[in-house]
Amino acid sequence: MKPIFKQTKLSAYEAIDEAQKIAFAPLIFQAVRTMRELGILEQLEQHKAQGVDAQGIAEALGLSLYGVETLLESGMSCGVVELNDEEKFTLSKVGYYLLHDPMTRINMDYNHDVCYQGMFYLDEAIKSGRPSGLKVFGEQWETLYQALPHLPEQVKNSWYAFDHFYSDTAYPAALKLIFAAKPKTLVDIGTNVGKFTILAAQYDADVHITMVDLPDQLQNAIRNVSEAGFSERVTPLGMDLLDESSHFPPGLDIYWLSQFLSCFGKAEIISILKRIAQIMESNSTVYILETCWDRQQHETSSYSLINTSLYFTAMASGNSKMYHSRELLECIEAAGLELEKATDNLGLCHTLFACKKRP
């Protein structure tokens, strides 16, 4: 495996220093998020280079001096807050992006609202192979995908914002590629809220689409498609995608799986793809849009994807992850498919795998 991350030789002191940053990372995360939510970062930005003292922020926001001082000192320790020559607090460049960068805000909200409490049970999830952290939202669900329509609004909002932020950047380029051959039929497998189905219906006025998902989840997609005015060209199909007796629509032009296979373990991926391969025609194409951590342009992207796998472990399914592309290609081959083409760098971080049925 080719190294993705820089390997730097550290002194013993430097290694201990890095270890302490990891040890206190959960507390730092909450301190910085709280500064953002309470308006402290915004206060720092308003005062620009001249800075502001803790008392000024406390008075402006109606907070205790103790609380503001504690958060500012924590922010200073991790490079979010700085002290100027007059010993006033200022916002660092890191703090600026924490306040204004949409991706950073969405990632923080997602990790706080969706993942944070459940990650306490990561060790249990690793041992059991089940999403043990999901119980913070209730004991009645086996996977987060079953739970999603029923979760608190703030949790759902943060989950969808995270999911859509990344896929939205890739969809325009993906649509051009999959519609180049003028397909007449398409099945959107794991349609979620129907976002891609709606975009595909808008892109090509002649295409007919079947959208497939769990029955509860599918209700949101049906409503959204109806509101968009595409019900006549879209057929909903509710099914448990892990049920090996379930059948996908046969002989369609395009089988579309977007940010979908990362929700499953390898055996489940092979099962899903094998059932698709069995009902494909020779001119059918399976398009798989995924975020593979080994095919990224930047180390930061690989870092984010690898650590998103922990959400899948503790919260979502207990057995899935953001895969190395080699692992996905092995599943594709095991299912009776062959890779026709892989297109990297769609949007922020996606790869589009075009696959045919193996002769």
Give the mean model confidence (pLDDT) for residues 16-31: 97
pLDDT above 90 for 253: yes
Last residue of a domain, one of 75, 100, 125: 100
Question: Over the Cα atoms of the chain, what is R_g?
Answer: 23
Residue-level pLDDT at 306: 97
User: What are the backbone angles phi and psi of residue 61, rounded to the nearest 5°?
Assistant: -105, -5
Shared domain for 37 and 160, answered yes or no, is no
Domain, as residue range, for 225: 105-357
Shared domain for 41 and 112, answered yes or no, is no
Secondary structure letter of residue 249 according to DSSP = P
Of all residues in the chain, the percent with pLDDT exceeding 70 is: 99
Residue-level pLDDT at 2: 60
Q: Within a domain: residue 3?
A: no
Shared domain for 81 and 143, answered yes or no, is no
3-state secondary structure of 112: helix
Shared domain for 150 and 109, answered yes or no, is yes
Residue-level pLDDT at 179: 98
C-alpha–C-alpha distance, residues 113 and 193, integer Å: 20
Alpha helices, DSSP H, located in the chain: 12-23, 25-38, 40-47, 54-61, 65-77, 93-100, 102-110, 122-128, 144-147, 153-178, 195-203, 215-228, 266-279, 299-311, 325-334
Last residue of a domain, one of 69, 100, 131: 100
Q: At how many degrees (to 10) do helices 65-77 and 25-38 cross?
A: 130
Q: Which two tokens stand for residue 227?
A: 């509101």
In Å, how far from its chain's centre is CA 188? 18
Shared domain for 57 and 186, answered yes or no, is no
pLDDT digits 0-9 by tens, 162-221? 999 998 999 999 999 999 999 999 999 999 999 999 999 999 999 999 999 999 889 999
Last residue of a domain, one of 100, 133, 152: 100
Shared domain for 58 and 165, answered yes or no, is no
Q: How confident is the model at residue 106 (pLDDT cuts 50, 70, 90)?
A: very high
What mean pLDDT is reported for the chain?
96
Shared domain for 197 and 254, answered yes or no, is yes
What does DSSP say about strands 254-258 and 234-238: parallel, antiparallel, or unpaired? unpaired
Shared domain for 252 and 114, answered yes or no, is yes
Shared domain for 29 and 163, answered yes or no, is no
Q: Within a domain: residue 6?
A: no
Task: Say which range, 2-6, 18-22, 186-190, has the weakest mean pLDDT.
Answer: 2-6
Shared domain for 233 and 347, answered yes or no, is yes
Residue-level pLDDT at 6: 82
Distance, first Cα to last Cα, the chain: 30
Q: Within a domain: residue 7?
A: no
Q: Within a domain: residue 2?
A: no
Q: Within a domain: residue 134?
A: yes
Question: Distances in Å between the alpha carbon of 298 and those of 14, 56, 290?
Answer: 24, 40, 16
Shared domain for 221 and 303, answered yes or no, is yes
Q: Within a domain: residue 239?
A: yes
Give the mean model confidence (pLDDT) for residues 113-125: 98
Q: How many domains does the chain have?
A: 2
Q: How confident is the model at residue 3 (pLDDT cuts 50, 70, 90)?
A: low
pLDDT digits 0-9 by tens, 343-355? 999 999 999 999 9
Residue-level pLDDT at 1: 53
Shared domain for 211 and 71, answered yes or no, is no
Q: Within a domain: residue 1?
A: no
C-alpha–C-alpha distance, residues 215 and 340, integer Å: 32
* CATH assignment of the domain containing 20: 1.10.10.10
C-alpha–C-alpha distance, residues 220 and 150, integer Å: 12
* CATH assignment of the domain containing 251: 3.40.50.150
**E strand or H helix at 341:** strand 337-346
Residue-level pLDDT at 79: 98
Q: Within a domain: residue 279?
A: yes
pTM over 0.85: yes
C-alpha–C-alpha distance, residues 269 and 286, integer Å: 13
Residue-level pLDDT at 193: 93
